[in-house]
Structure 1
Amino acid sequence: MIGKIIAGSSFGATVSYVMKEQSRILGFEGIEPPGVQDMVRDFKDQTLLNPRIKNAVGHISLPFSPKDADRLTDPAMAQIAREYMERMGIRNTLFLIVRHMDQAHPHCHIVYNRVGNDGQTISDKNIKIRNGKVCKELTAKYGLYYPKGKEQVRRERLREPDKTKYAIYDAIRSCLPRCKSWSDLEKRLQERGITTTFKYCGNTDRRQGVLFGMNGYTFSGSKIDRAFSFSKLDRHFSQAQRIVTPISQPRYSAQAVGNLSAAVSHYRSAFAGLFGSRSNSGESLDLGGFGVAGGIILPPGGYCGSIAPEQMQRRIGESHEEHIARITALIRQATEAMLIEQAERSRRIREQQTKKRQIKIHR
């Protein structure tokens, strides 16, 4: 959960936006939904109590991770939104909470009047700092998923050159755990249309920098991410080449292997139902080490709670049985995410078909 403060100067435009077609009202106070004009009138009338406030429009979006989709029922999201408002000091005023259903990630919008019911101002001082603090507190309280660093960035909203830079970041992050040398990384990135070139020290053959290119844009490793600077990647490969693979083969109970096999079967079925013919392409994970024949294909672009290869590695202090149980849970979670998306697509298709039939009837 990461709140986004949205600038707005018009209740008319803001309310019209949040009340889009694929939306549901989760809560309100002091206004009369569902008519947009009626709600806008109510919001505007209250601003007359304090005409000194130049911008009385408060608008905050609360996006959640797709990993929490199955838990975020309308009542649950409404409760979190109301508690968020209370902790942010948004109280004793008109507000509207609306859930949007047009994207894969669950999210809602809060529209409120910065002129309170008593004419006092709802302060927006340090609102971004307070927003970050409150979101972290609520994320911890409700056990929600909180992305870190570049995971927070909405890729679909990026423009060039940032769009390409983040595509390269995602590719390196995905490939790196399976690479033990520069040549391994270069080969895997080339398969994704990304070039790798090196900067050398003077006229020597000693490398001192790395550049990654794609779509006509070129970035140094450190510009993509500090963890991808030449020195840090070079250190990563040096350490990877010193790792000795254990000789002993872990043994798992028949029940644990059976649970994993069943989870894999359901995953493959959900994947085929969601992606169809694309199931023959894409990156795969081998499960042979767990005693399960074959592997699973990852959804394209990390879609629907995909499993990162590094998550498959056994953690320090984790027993073999705990390891396979965790992997089974990850696969089940990814399956649930794909089933939710499949159901949502079916619902959208039904709505479109219904609209078409209604149009024909009116004609």
Structure 2
Amino acid sequence: MIAKIKTRADFGGIVNYANDQKNKKKCAILLAHEGVCVISNKTIADSFQIQASMRPKVKSPVKHVSLAFSSQDINRFPDNEEGDALMAEIAKKWMEQMGIRNTQYIIARHHDTKHPHCHLVFNRIDNDGNLISDSNERIHNAKVCRTLTKEYGLYFAPKNSKARNKSRLRPYQLRKYNLRSATLDALTVSRSWNDFLGILKGLGIDMRFNRTDNSDKIRGISFCQNEYSIAGSKLDRDLSFNSLCATLGNVAAELVVQPHQAITPSGGGGASNELGWRDDKDKDNQRTEPFYKPSKRRR
């Protein structure tokens, strides 16, 4: 199960897309709704818009979520009342665990692909005129999808398309893929920096904080596994230092003090790779690193 979330400004267009019952290919079915008049798509959109007008400064009050299930689960969602009920139940539980409550929404099922899926449209302005926060939405969504997939015994699909073709990846691509997958999986089940570091240690992954010369300011973070090293921001945007702080909170001072401090040279001499750090004993290894970028010569 995966959920793709998009923020929109106009209710009319997205409601027409989600609840397009005239399209014979989609064969859209309205599974559930709350707080809207469902006489027509126009009345649905008008209902959304009236409530959104309580916060006129919010320019993008629409959230559109595509909830997709693996084709391996097609027997769990037959095209009947039972299958529709299960899909609506999971969609509602996804909303609840994402903190989306007390607001208008519609859930519509489509039949235009091989995999079962539905579309959820909800109002970011709730029934009391408050704005529903979407802070750390991507990380939270990944955790909720994984939890619901386990809870309902659904099929765990590969993390991305590359997983289906791992044999075709080049060695350095495979190392990056394996490190990225392991680190993101660790992040989804971590609630603090201590949790995250503990899980990474068990996986044999070293995490280092990057600093500038003569400064205690952290400028980034890097991950290393099996002599392969890469900056978190280049591994995945959710693994940059700022993103990790937003997810796990501010890093404690005692965690930053490590035997090998991460340093980015600011003066001449010794070039660094994309990590901004290296140990002397790894110098020869890093010269052959596929992602190594030599510094420019001074003229």
State the AA in 1 paired with 2:59.
Answer: K
1:221 to 146, 170, 186: 170
1:91 to 89, 94, 101: 101
1:11 aligned partner = 11
Which consecutive residues of structure 1, in runs of 5 or more, have no partner in the other structure?
154-165, 177-211, 213-219, 230-363
Shift in alpha-carbon separation, 1:52–1:146, aligned structure 2, 3 A = same
Shift in alpha-carbon separation, 1:148–1:228, aligned structure 2, 3 A = closer
Cα deviation, residue 2, structure 1: 1.0
SS at match of 1:61: strand
Aligned length: 168
Shift in alpha-carbon separation, 1:228–1:134, aligned structure 2, 3 A = closer
Return the alpha-carbon distance in structure 2 between the equivalents of residues 5 and 65 of structure 1. 17
1:103 aligned partner = 113
1:62 aligned partner = 67
SS at match of 1:7: strand
- Report runs of 4+ in structure 1 exceeding 6 Å deviation: none
State the AA in 1 paired with 2:175.
Answer: R
Which consecutive residues of structure 2, in runs of 5 or more, have no partner in the other structure?
78-82, 179-299
State the AA in 2 paired with 1:81.
Answer: A
1:116 aligned partner = 126
Cα deviation, residue 138, structure 1: 0.5
Shift in alpha-carbon separation, 1:35–1:228, aligned structure 2, 3 A = closer
2:152 to 120, 142, 146: 142
Contact 1:221/1:228 (<8 A) preserved: no
Contact 1:222/1:228 (<8 A) preserved: no
State the AA in 1 paired with 2:91.
Answer: A
Return the alpha-carbon distance in structure 1 between the equivalents of residues 159 and 135 of structure 2. 25
Return the alpha-carbon distance in structure 2 between the equivalents of residues 227 and 125 of structure 1. 27
Q: Alpha-carbon deviations, 1:195-229, whole Å to 9, x = none?
A: xxxxxxxxxxxxxxxxx7xxxxxxx7146543899
Identify the structure with bigger relative contact order (alpha carbons < 8 Å, sequence gap 6+): 2
Greater share of helix: 1
Shift in alpha-carbon separation, 1:228–1:47, aligned structure 2, 3 A = closer
Q: Report whether the alignment pairs 1:131 with 2:141.
A: yes
Return the alpha-carbon distance in structure 2 between the equivalents of residues 67 and 14 of structure 1. 28
Cα deviation, residue 33, structure 1: 1.8
Q: Alpha-carbon deviations, 1:167-203, whole Å to 9, x = none?
A: xx85x65xx6xxxxxxxxxxxxxxxxxxxxxxxxxxx
Alignment map for 1:63-78 (pairs within 5 Å): 63-72=68-77, 73-78=83-88
The percentage of aligned residue pairs carrying the same residue is: 40
1:45 to 44, 50, 53: 50
Return the alpha-carbon distance in structure 2 between the equivalents of residues 59 and 130 of structure 1. 16
Q: Report whether the alignment pairs 1:29 with 2:39.
A: no
In angstroms, what is the RMSD of aligned CA positions? 2.2
Return the alpha-carbon distance in structure 1 between the equivalents of residues 159 and 69 of structure 2. 15
Which structure: larger Rg?
1
1:277 aligned partner = none
Contact 2:7/2:61 (<8 A) preserved: no
Return the alpha-carbon distance in structure 1 between the equivalents of residues 39 and 117 of structure 2. 19
Cα deviation, residue 99, structure 1: 0.6
State the AA in 2 paired with 1:9.
Answer: A
In the superposition, the TM-score normalised over structure 2's length comes to: 0.52
Shift in alpha-carbon separation, 1:228–1:106, aligned structure 2, 3 A = closer
2:91 aligned partner = 81
Cα deviation, residue 32, structure 1: 1.7
